[in-house]
Amino acid sequence: MIANYPPYEKKIEHNGKEVTVHLWKNEEIGQLEDYPMYHITSEGRVFSWRKGTFLKYRFLNQKETKDGNKKYYVRYLLKNATTGQKDEMLAHVLVWKLFGDYPIPEDGVVHHISGDSLDNRLINLQALTKEEHDKIAGGFQLGVERKVVDSGTFARGGHDFPFTKMKYFERRDDAAKYLNMDMKEFETFLKREPEEIFCEDIKAWHAPDGRIVLKFKKKYSKKEDLIYYEI
């Protein structure tokens, strides 16, 4: 989670009780019908009315990504008022159910756009079908130069690194389409030895039409990066 300073105070109510909680700038808070004993924020934090404070983070077992990174997911054990059972709920799913602009597709997923599974802010989430999710690039993102400037160098804006206006893609098929390449051709292109490797292992090539293509790893937060707030 990336803290949005400065925090501010907001009053919330439940069954005649009122408390003041601290929220980050732009963070919203609300309730889901199935979980009335909790207030959930748009950054994936959960306030428990039974405990009178925000719940401390629990984590789903780490998952190794295709590129070898370890991913963690925030989860909570919440009592469901409809079933009377306790549900193991992922923070990003709670955020989308409360604040997302359309339902999660059947057999679909709530996806972390940046790849950072601990950044549960609404702006980092989208609901996808399994088919859409399978087309995502994986542990990296792609940047494509918007127009050909100089197909013989990566220097742009007076820098050796290509400081230029680029269009960024998470899905390989979208990047391929933008470059007027078919998927097989584009997959082969990305498997080539990079023409240059810049800071933080950013790989770079010139596309057949001369535009710069960058491939860079997604960044992942550590559990220690999450900020826990008392009320």
Per-residue pLDDT of the chain (231 residues; tens, 9 = 90+): 455 556 789 999 999 999 999 998 889 999 999 999 999 999 999 999 999 999 999 998 776 666 566 778 999 999 999 999 999 999 999 999 999 988 999 889 999 988 888 999 998 899 999 888 877 766 788 999 999 999 889 999 888 889 888 998 888 888 999 999 999 999 999 999 999 999 878 999 999 999 999 998 877 777 777 765 555
For residue 36, give its domain range.
8-134
Do residue 128 and residue 172 come from a single domain? Answer: no
pTM: 0.73
Q: Is residue 1 part of a domain?
A: no
Please give the tally of structural domains in the chain: 2
CB atoms within 10 A of CB 131: 10
d(CA 79, CA 196): 53
Residue 43 placed within a domain: yes
Q: Cα separations (Å) of 163 from 154, 155, 157, 181, 198?
A: 9, 8, 6, 24, 12
Specify whether the CB–CB gap between 140 and 121 falls below 8 A: no
